[in-house]
Structure 1
Amino acid sequence: MRGTKFLEVSLITVCQLLALSLWFSATAVLPQLRSEFHLGALQSSLFTSSVVMGFILGTLTSAFLGLADRLDPRRFFALCSLVAGCANILILVVPVDGVVVIFLRLLTGMCMAGIYPIGMKMVATWARGDTGFLVGLLVGALTLGSALPHLFSVALPLDWRLVMVSASCSAWLAALGVLLVKLGGTPGRSPRFDPRVVGHIIADKPLRYAGYGYFGHMWELYAMWGWTGLFLFRTYQERGLENASVWAALTTFAIVGIGALGSLLGGIFADRWGRTTITISAMGISGFCALITGALAGAPLPVLVGVCLIWGISVVADSAQFSSCVIELAEPEHVGTALTLQNAVGFFIALISIHLVPLVADMAGWWASFAMLAVGPVMGVIAMARLRAMPEARKLAQGRR
């Protein structure tokens, strides 16, 4: 049984990473696109942010229609991977500096709503007292995938067309692979469409506080991932470091990539010590790092990079545990919808903080912009502490709050 579980969870993780390459590839090729097609700041930002906006739209639609619980998760995942791969490869035949390419990126993001939360739901069917670790494994793969474009930009300066074709082929391979997945149990399914389900989920107080914790986490996570590289690049430039862009990319890869280890360790410890224990601890550490990182621009490089690495571990160590809370607190037949709804609101919040960081940095410096992100962990700690005090928290991690 353990061998079968390991094989199936590994297959789900690989399929998700292959499908999400469509998201990661945009970051890797954007510098080439800007250079070749002379893209302006607006078009460049839309090329990446339209995927996030599409994901938000897709998750809201999926949550309202209850698709994550009413459809077979493997077929839903496969269909979304297939459509997303087609939308991505069509970029090769449309003007890159036009409106159509933004629509295609938006469609790709919408399809991600049938991949990321659905992968979590499929993994959850194999959970036997180790939900935190299994979901942590999935989020760890996502984290590593998010870090890889920083490495590729230095080590593999491939033609952007080849990258896009490879990403689409990866998504199609994921669509085939996920159909071979066996589930660890029968996932809960809604017998019919009921838009009131979303209202019931929102009205569920323990689920709501788990969501508040996740929203605080998302306020910090993607903004930190998105802007640490530029912060380090400018810091290295001011120090007169040769090849500042290369060193910034490599350092950012390490900072984001080490979060995969944080996600795995967070899952292991949360299963043993409790979900709220780990989320509160991780947000306390990451919030402190957010407060001091910007002020360390002039500190010795080992100190600056060391704090950034701690931030990279702690900022994502709690991520999977919010999803694990939803899996354990929600009604079995509504788990997929609850996960999808949580993702929708969380990524909308992340989109706001991502755009605020550079504005605040220009007006008040990097310390202020990063310190602003600490608001999220503070609010998250409060929310998870309140969840911990509820009797329903005994459902978490087999009674380990």
Structure 2
Amino acid sequence: MTHKPHILPVLILAQFACTSLWFAGNAIVDDIALKTGLGPEIIGYVLSSVQFGFITGTLVFAFLMIADRFSPSKIFFICALFAAACNLSLLVAELSKWHLLFARFGTGFFLAGIYPIGMKIAADYYENGLGKALGFLVGALVLGTSFPYLLQGLELNSNSDTVLIITSVLAVVGGIVVVFFVPNGPFRKRSTNIKIKAGISLFRIPAFRTAAIGYFGHMWELYAFWAFTPLALFTYTALNSSNFSIPLLTFVIIALGGLSCALGGYLAQKIGSFKIAYYALFGSALFCILSPLLFKLPPVLFLIGWSLWGMAVTADSPQFSSLVANAVPPELKGTGLTLVNCFGFAISIISIQLLTILSTQINPTLIFLFLGIGPLIGLYVMTQKK
């Protein structure tokens, strides 16, 4: 383990700051809908364009092996600046649909140089205890994801400008602290050449393949759950005549996932990353199956249930990343993490678009059943290994 105790706190701060850009568009989706004239389909458009940008970015990064050939801290810094610029471009008075989609696509593209690169930096510093380190790091990502909803819920401004400005400034600060305070890690092994087939060949490693498929099942559920939690809260209030602050509750539900990531990191040191990932995936699959029943519960029990789901749905994420990083050669850790992220986020687009369609075709209380498909497949593959 590194002898520089400031490294992990700096990475946690930077990861939180930069990933606050991820859901900035979703948190202000009502204002964006007014600007662009889009209808309910905007929920899928706004997030899927970020996911598609992220996928494209991770493909480019993995193909060129950027994370393993160049200084990860410098990549993190440069991508933070460009992602913030894309986010700020939404401040224009006249926002077209195509401007919105390209801006969110650009944000996602440069987030590919932040999220997986942050995990690569952690892997370069923590040869042992990586599950714990990634637990905190992914927890920071989860908290960053929820942060725009907090800003919106606090009603700091009558329009969306405050959310966009604060998240963009945070991203710039996050990039600066990494490039100045986090040098290359002691366990970094630099690749000097592009190996075009290196990434795909990793799937021949059984441990990598199992961890990757488990992660893919997790990703089928995760971002669709986050994106449609506001709809779930709205549906519950409409059915039960309740009065919730939907942005603030969305922030709490997503943010609690950051806590579960950190707790999972601690437990992984005692029982291993595989067990934490398996049990968390099992828990979230169970919530998917029981989701229609949650809408019939009293308000307190509904919120407790949805909050526990928010914790279960994220707790496995850092442990899958730890399993992936530990299953590949050191010189290909960055490429392995980036490639798995790429496929995982591609899968998330499918589930997001599926729920977007289903939300207009069937009772919204039933759409979350379909999120169980991914976790159940992941559990099946992981059970074979057990």
Normalized against structure 1, the TM-score is what?
0.89
Match of 1:4 in 2: 4
CA 340–128 in structure 1, closer or farther in 2 if over 3 Å, else same? closer
Match of 1:91 in 2: 90
Which among 324, 327, 346 is matched to residue 325 of structure 2?
Answer: 327
Instruction: Please tell me the root mean square deviation across aligned C-alpha atoms, in Å.
Output: 2.1
Deviation of 1:10 (Å): 0.8
Cα distance in 2 between the residues matched to 1:299 and 1:163: 33
Task: State the percentage of identical aligned residues.
Answer: 34
Deviation of 1:126 (Å): 2.4
Match of 1:69 in 2: 68
CA 288–41 in structure 1, closer or farther in 2 if over 3 Å, else same? closer
- Kept after mapping to 2: 8 A contact 1:292/1:367: no
Cα distance in 2 between the residues matched to 1:238 and 1:42: 22
Deviation of 1:178 (Å): 1.1
Mapping 1:5-24, distance limit 5 Å: 5=5, 7-24=6-23
Which among 249, 252, 255 is matched to residue 257 of structure 1?
Answer: 255
Cα distance in 2 between the residues matched to 1:294 and 1:205: 36
Letter in 2 for 1:140: G
Q: Spell out, residue by residue over 1:149-204, the C-alpha distance to the aligned partner (whole angstroms, 9 max, x if none).
A: 33222213423233323333222222221112134414122121110112211222
Structure 2 residue 220 is matched with structure 1 residue 222: no
Cα distance in 2 between the residues matched to 1:41 and 1:98: 13
Normalized against structure 2, the TM-score is what?
0.93
Which among 378, 386, 389 is matched to residue 376 of structure 2?
Answer: 378
Q: Spell out, residue by residue over 1:193-243, the C-alpha distance to the aligned partner (whole angstroms, 9 max, x if none).
A: 1101122112222211110000000111111111122112111122122x3
Q: Tell me the secondary structure at the aligned position of residue 22 of structure 1.
A: coil
Deviation of 1:98 (Å): 4.4
Q: Tell me the secondary structure at the aligned position of residue 95 of structure 2.
A: coil
Which among 330, 335, 338 is matched to residue 337 of structure 1?
Answer: 335
- Kept after mapping to 2: 8 A contact 1:117/1:340: yes
Cα distance in 2 between the residues matched to 1:23 and 1:214: 19
- Kept after mapping to 2: 8 A contact 1:188/1:335: no
Deviation of 1:42 (Å): 5.0
Q: Spell out, residue by residue over 1:74-103, the C-alpha distance to the aligned partner (whole angstroms, 9 max, x if none).
A: 111111112222233233348411423422
Cα distance in 1 between the residues matched to 2:274 and 2:150: 34
Cα distance in 2 between the residues matched to 1:61 and 1:189: 18
- Kept after mapping to 1: 8 A contact 2:80/2:171: yes
Match of 1:393 in 2: none
Deviation of 1:271 (Å): 1.9
Structure 2 residue 238 is matched with structure 1 residue 240: no
Letter in 2 for 1:24: F
- Kept after mapping to 2: 8 A contact 1:15/1:178: yes
Which among 280, 283, 297 is matched to residue 281 of structure 2?
Answer: 283
Cα distance in 1 between the residues matched to 2:362 and 2:97: 34
CA 2–308 in structure 1, closer or farther in 2 if over 3 Å, else same? same
Cα distance in 2 between the residues matched to 1:369 and 1:28: 21
Match of 2:126 in 1: 127
Cα distance in 1 between the residues matched to 2:150 and 2:161: 18
Cα distance in 2 between the residues matched to 1:193 and 1:57: 18
Q: Spell out, residue by residue over 1:31-62, the C-alpha distance to the aligned partner (whole angstroms, 9 max, x if none).
A: 22223553444566433321111001100111
For these two proteins, the number of residue pairs brought into alignment is: 384
